[in-house]
Chains A and B, each alone.
Chain A
């Protein structure tokens, strides 16, 4: 029987190593429409992270000329006035950029070296975020800078001022005396002004932060809850499953929208509360999906093999089972993001969403028809289109992801 020796040559190892997600991405991004959606959403996320640098009334930097009492000095009004949230989001944007660079660098490396690079990149980024976040939280003092830098610059009281591309803050009003409220798009205000004389474009950009914030924060909360509950019920089954699924049914019976209305009526408007409520009422679908996936996966041989080698439970659950069952949940989260954006816009439209003067697409849409006798279409067009396109992009993206991970559509596109 020894004539059939194990030569490594007798079976060629197939070429083209491509991990699962590489395969999914290749299928996902093939249609132009999906690429457009992804680009749009990426830009939206970037705007949400970087909006203080894009639309702000304060200049990045300027020089205060010398006076009798002090010498000329350079000032950084915009950075001086960034809040801790702004800073953290800026650091996140920076970290994302670093990650992209590290990833593209590591693509050229091979094997264990590549893994090492990736791991180092991840550690560095996490470190940066934590350190920067805590430093900022410790050091930052919120200031109220009500100085009108544009008029200072015009009168020569500051020089060499560099303003952001949209030189208006989201809450900055044109003085009433100038009659610049409800203004049609002009060179001064590219998309016009609203009823309080605030720049529409600036508010649209700031509104992206609220929309993305509500979407992502609420869905991260929902995913975390849904994955934990789904994994546990799907893995253990039995009495555990029966009890937790009744909890799921209870949560499902809560109408999110009316819960938020009630909550706002009692405790007042806080956008963070709204995010949390959308999250803690929206996880049940994910739990159900993952539960079903785990029922299927838990009796597969590789899970038994992992248990058989004596892996601890969490490792079996989250390292061996979750990566194989999470894709439908991620698809569903894409639809969830769209839903959360819609809920926030609806709430703000009804005036129970964000606290004014915070900009939100929903509240902007509301003010376009306020008072009810008038309708200023240019005020409605921007937020309306953004809500529409954003929801559409999330849905299209999620739907394409579903098709891309579905092996039955393989080869059809």
Chain B
């Protein structure tokens, strides 16, 4: 039976210093088509040459404003961008296997270890399937449980995310947003994955429910040894939740560091601006809010040089001409930022 061989794979878990997910120079460009023959008139560089690494049981926060390509990056890592709709280059290694080089059968097997939680709790659950069917189906497809065992397994997963009582036969529309998000989490947990890509899992929820879901996620992390790629636009959420943070701007990663280092001494002016927008629960504190001027430039027509230079308060002539590389900043050798002007 196939299900007997699979759990043993978890025993030879890689040691903690190895890399679970390694993204190398990932780029995603969507062609802009128009006209009768749908000829390509341009391209939107949604993700531009990003590199990331996630260690086992680590949480990497990926922050940036709307439209900066964080969701696209997440989907590209999962290889969920439909073939032919985008030009994707670079490599995504999961435990040393290149996801983009995997054959369909291998890919399906790989997917068991990488799951996803979506932002929209309404759209992420199939409205025509009961909760039980939705959570039980992956188990069945991957032959991780025999048919008669599935209801018990589903019940167990639902308990894990805080449901008690009989919800197996209910449909998604009968639940509130937070409950749906928990159902989505239960579905992601069903296959006992190692990495979960959380695509803004709490930004559609009320603040009180946000805390609930975040607590659940971090409890599950310690309980099941999960790693997270945590995508969000709210730095305050990511700051508390992540071990490391990567800041994205216009398809590029502009700064990456340990969460504490990044929040204490941000090096990239964009990160500084993001941090100054986080409300601080302190009285009598003079706010030095750094308000960015202008709009996010179009990724179809990005600015020359550093993509941030038109909005940057400290930009110099060089920034307009040359793209700054990711360099070590400050004392921490893992603190990288792409800026000519900061040290």
**Footprint of B on A, CB under 8 Å?**
1-2, 4-8, 11, 13-14, 16-20, 110-112, 236-238, 298-302, 304-312, 315, 320, 323-324
Determine whether the beta carbon of A111 is less than 8 Å from that of B187. Answer: no
Q: A301-B118, A310-B111 given as contacts; is B141 within 8 A of A13 (CB)?
A: no
B279 interface residue (CB < 8 Å to A): no
Beyond known contacts A237-B85, A301-B119, A308-B111: 12 more, CB 8 A cutoff: A6-B215, A7-B162, A8-B163, A236-B84, A300-B123, A305-B118, A306-B126, A308-B80, A310-B110, A310-B141, A312-B141, A315-B141
Chain A: minimal CB distance from B126 (Å):
4
- B333 vs chain A, min Cβ distance (A): 31
Q: Tell me, in angstroms, the Cα distance from A324 to B172 when the chains sit together.
A: 14
- The yes or no answer to B52 lying at the interface (CB within 8 A) is no
B142 touches A310 (CB 8 A): yes
Complex-state Cα separation, A18 to B130, whole angstroms: 10
Out of B115, B124, B179, which one reaches A309, CB within 8 Å?
B115
User: Chain B residues in contact with chain A, CB under 8 A?
Assistant: 75, 78, 80, 82-85, 107-112, 114-116, 118-120, 123-129, 137-138, 141-142, 151, 161-171, 174-176, 178-179, 182, 184, 187, 190-191, 208, 211-212, 214-216
Query: Could you list 26 examples of A-B contacts with CB < 8 Å?
Result: A1-B211, A2-B215, A6-B215, A13-B167, A13-B175, A16-B174, A18-B171, A112-B151, A237-B85, A298-B82, A300-B123, A301-B124, A306-B126, A307-B80, A308-B111, A309-B111, A309-B187, A310-B107, A310-B109, A310-B112, A311-B138, A311-B141, A312-B108, A323-B126, A324-B126, A324-B128
CB-CB < 8 A to B215: which residues of A? 1-2, 4-6
Asked whether A8 lies within 8 Å of B116 as measured between CB atoms, the reply is: no
Q: Output the residue of B110, B127, B142, B214 with the most chain A CB within 10 A.
A: B127
Q: Is the CB of A311 within 8 A of B107?
A: no
A8 touches B165 (CB 8 A): yes
Most chain A CB inside 10 Å of its own CB: which residue of B83, B129, B164, B176: B129
**Structural contact, B169 and A111, CB atoms closer than 8 A:** yes
Q: How far is the CA of A300 from the CA of B121 in the complex (A)?
A: 11
In angstroms, how far is the closest chain B Cβ from the Cβ of A328?
15
Chain A residues in 8 Å Cβ range of B120: 301
B4 to chain A, nearest CB (A): 19
Q: In the complex, what residues of B have CB within 8 A of residue A236's CB?
A: 84
Shortest Cβ distance from B123 into chain A, in angstroms? 4
Within 8 Å CB of A238, what residues of B? 83-84
CB neighbours (8 Å) of A18 from chain B are: 171
A260 to chain B, nearest CB (A): 35
Pick from A5, A13, A302, A305: contact of B179, CB below 8 A: A13
By beta carbon, the residue of chain B nearest A16 is B174
Distance A409 CA – B41 CA, assembled complex (angstroms): 41
A16 CB contacts on chain B under 8 angstroms? 174
Which residues on the B side are within 8 Å of A19 (C-beta)?
128, 171
* B160 and chain A: residue at smallest CB distance: A6
Instruction: Pick the 6 closest A-B CB pairs, nearest first.
Output: A310-B111, A6-B162, A301-B124, A310-B108, A301-B118, A309-B138
Q: Known: A13-B167, A111-B169, A323-B128. Is A308-B115 also a contact (CB below 8 A)? A: yes
What is the distance, in angstroms, from B95's C-beta to the closest C-beta of chain A? 16
- Name the CB-closest residue of B to A302: B126
User: In the complex the two chains form, what is the Cα distance from A72 to B287 in whole Å?
Assistant: 110
In the bound complex, residues from chain A placing their C-beta under 8 Å from that of B85 are 237
In contact, B109 and A14 (Cβ under 8 angstroms) = no
- Between A110, A111, A310, the greatest number of chain B beta carbons within 10 A of the residue's beta carbon is seen for A310
Beta-carbon contact of A4 and B211 below 8 Å: yes
Please measure, in the bound complex, the distance between the C-alpha atom of A306 and the C-alpha atom of B216, giving whole angstroms: 23
Shortest distance in angstroms between B327's beta carbon and chain A's nearest beta carbon?
Answer: 35
Give Cα distance in the complex from A16 to B174, angstroms. 8
Quick check: B174 and A20 within 8 Å, CB to CB?
no
- Complex Cα distance, B237 from A219, in Å, reads 54
Contacts A4-B212, A302-B123, A302-B124; A14 near B174 (Cβ below 8 A): yes
A302 contacts which chain B residues (CB < 8 A)? 123-127
| CB atoms of B112 and A17 under 8 A apart | no
Task: Point out the residues of chain B lying under 8 angstroms from A7, CB to CB.
Answer: 162
For B167, list chain A residues within 8 Å (CB): 13
Specify the chain A residue showing the minimal Cβ separation from B176.
A11
Q: Inside 8 A of B168's CB, which chain A residues have their CB?
A: 111-112
State in angstroms the CA–CA spacing of A17 and B169 once bound together.
8
Min CB distance B305 to A, Å, is: 34
Is the CB–CB distance between B164 and A8 below 8 Å?
A: yes
A2 to B126, CA, bound (A): 31
Known: A111-B166, A308-B116, A310-B141. A237 touches B109 (CB 8 A): no
| Inter-chain contacts of A304 with B (CB < 8 A) | 75, 78, 80, 116, 118
Q: A14-B174, A301-B123 are in contact. Are A308 and B162 (CB under 8 A)?
A: no
Q: Which residues of B contact A323 (CB under 8 A)?
A: 126, 128
Task: Give bound CA distance, A112 to B131, whole Å.
Answer: 13
Instruction: Decide if B141 touches A309 in the complex (CB within 8 Å).
Output: yes
CA distance A112 to B148 in the complex (A): 10
| Closest chain B CB from A329 CB (angstroms) | 15
Which of A13, A110, A301, A309 has the most chain B CB atoms inside 10 A of its CB?
Answer: A309
Chain B residue with Cβ nearest A13: B167
**Chain A residue nearest in CB terms to B113:** A310
CA distance A31 to B115 in the complex (A): 46
Q: Which residue of B lies closest to A326 (CB)?
A: B128
Task: Collect the chain B residues with CB atoms within 8 Å of residue A14's CB.
Answer: 174-176
Give the residues in chain A near B169, CB-CB below 8 Å. 17, 110-112
What is the CA–CA distance of A1 and B213 in the complex, to the nearest angstrom?
Answer: 11
Name the residue among B142, B166, B169, B184 with the largest chain A CB count within 10 angstroms.
B169
Question: CA–CA, A2 to B163, complex, Å?
Answer: 18
Which residue of B80, B165, B170, B176 contacts A17 across the interface (Cβ within 8 Å)? Answer: B170
B127 contact from A11, A13, A112, A324, Cβ within 8 A? A324
Closest CB in chain B relative to A133 CB, distance in Å: 29
A-side contacts of B116, CB under 8 Å: 304-305, 308
